[in-house]
């Protein structure tokens, strides 16, 4: 069994040595532990330092963002024959000693993806607003996916090889939410384990502020919901419009009968017609989106087979005909 720990980095030379120094050299259940550093266009010597510390380094030609660095790391880990992949941050936020705790459910065969749950309420560096947003976002992800995820934005997570083969991250912002939704849609087992964190002095580089992070996360969630649950996403507002149009239409009929057929309240009739038209269009989009979602699932299965062949590890046996 081979464990590969990947670290996406952007100008992390000041903290990378501490991050890598805390990672375990041996983990129960694994014969080999490797470290892969994905340098996302750093300008402070991060790549050279990572190589000096013994990591396998992947250098992106320019800064592509966390999500693309994550995807590049996953492909590299699979190519290197990883049975389990752990993703952590280069800012030394997560404690390396918790790697063993993180991978244990996968080693035992109880989970396909494990997310490290930080003690959000006790992290002094998080403002009350950020704590509220973190908890609210995690609750929303649990509601959308039906998974028991305590800390959805956490980047400290472990993937089985089969789970990593099926990951598709389309976001250019972050991978954290999309991978949870994908795992839920594929029926994979997602679990959380409590982990501890170190103090990080510098501000997050993922977004330029709370509002920017909220906007990016909210739009990502909305897009993910539309992509993976198009029928529900469009039919729910369509039903609201149908109900509103019906109520306004009934009101018009009531006034029409009450007045003995006298003209009046035509604005209500026009509004009802507009609402019914919008509802009909959303219904059509819902059915088209559902058909596209079926096609997407078929393509994902084909892609999974292709990735299995592409990243076949030395221990894999060809499937019988």
* Model pLDDT for residues 102-112, shown as the tens digit of each residue: 999 999 999 99
Final residue of a structural domain among 225, 244, 278: 225
Same domain, 258 and 168: no
pLDDT confidence of residue 274:
94
Same domain, 97 and 50: yes
Same domain, 35 and 169: yes
Same domain, 14 and 61: yes
Q: 294 is in which domain, residue-wise?
A: 230-310
Q: Which residue has the higher pLDDT, 300 or 49?
A: 49
Residue 319 maps to a domain: no
Same domain, 68 and 188: yes
- Alpha-helical (H) ranges within 190-229 are 210-228
Residue 315 maps to a domain: no
Residue 76 maps to a domain: yes
**For 155-209, how does the pLDDT look when each residue is reduced to its tens digit (9 = 90+)?**
999 999 999 999 888 776 678 888 888 888 888 999 999 999 988 766 665 556 6
For 191, residues 6+ apart whose C-beta sits below 8 A from its C-beta are 105, 110, 111, 113, 114, 115, 148
- d(C-alpha 202, C-alpha 199), whole Å: 9
- d(C-alpha 302, C-alpha 311), whole Å: 14
Same domain, 179 and 68: yes
Same domain, 237 and 178: no
Domain count along the chain? 2
> Per residue in 92-106, is it b (16+ CB within 10 Å) or e — as a string?
bbbbbebbbbbbbbb
pTM attached to this predicted model: 0.81
Same domain, 98 and 241: no
Same domain, 195 and 245: no
Same domain, 265 and 215: no
Q: Give the SS3 label for residue 46.
A: helix
- d(C-alpha 195, C-alpha 272), whole Å: 54
Final residue of a structural domain among 225, 243, 269: 225
In the chain, pLDDT over 90 holds for what percent of residues?
50
Average pLDDT over residues 59-70: 89
Residue 148 maps to a domain: yes
Same domain, 235 and 90: no
Q: Which residue has the higher pLDDT, 23 or 251?
A: 23
């Amino acid at each position: 069994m081979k464990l590969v720990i990947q670290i996406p980095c952007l100008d992390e030379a000041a903290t990378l040595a501490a991050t890598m120094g805390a990672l375990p050299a041996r983990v129960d259940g694994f014969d080999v532990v490797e470290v892969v550093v994905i340098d996302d266009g750093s300008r402070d010597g991060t790549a050279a330092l990572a190589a000096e510390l013994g990591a396998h380094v992947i250098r992106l030609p320019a800064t592509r963002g966390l999500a693309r660095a994550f995807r590049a790391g996953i492909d590299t880990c699979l190519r290197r024959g990883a049975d389990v992949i752990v993703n952590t941050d280069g800012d030394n936020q997560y404690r390396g000693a918790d790697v063993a705790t993180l991978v244990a459910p996968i080693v035992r065969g109880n989970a396909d993806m494990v997310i490290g749950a930080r003690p959000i309420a006790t992290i002094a560096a998080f403002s009350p607003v950020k704590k509220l947003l973190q908890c609210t976002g995690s609750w929303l992800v649990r509601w959308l996916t039906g998974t028991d995820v305590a800390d959805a934005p956490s980047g400290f997570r472990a993937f089985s090889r089969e789970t990593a083969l099926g990951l598709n991250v389309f976001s250019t912002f972050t991978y954290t939410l999309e991978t949870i939704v994908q795992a839920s849609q594929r029926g994979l087992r997602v679990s959380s384990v409590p982990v501890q964190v170190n103090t990080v002095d510098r501000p997050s580089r993922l977004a330029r502020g709370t509002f920017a992070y909220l906007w990016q996360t909210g739009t990502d969630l909305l897009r993910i919901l539309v992509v993976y649950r198009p029928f529900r996403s469009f039919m729910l507002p369509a039903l609201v419009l149908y109900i509103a149009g019906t109520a306004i239409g009934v009101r018009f009929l009531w006034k029409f009968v009450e007045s003995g057929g006298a003209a009046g309240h035509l604005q209500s009739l026009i509004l009802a017609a507009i609402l019914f038209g919008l509802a009909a269009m959303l219904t059509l989009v819902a059915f088209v989106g559902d058909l596209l979602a079926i096609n997407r699932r078929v393509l994902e299965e084909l892609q999974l087979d292709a990735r299995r062949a592409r990243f076949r590890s030395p221990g894999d046996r060809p499937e019988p005909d």
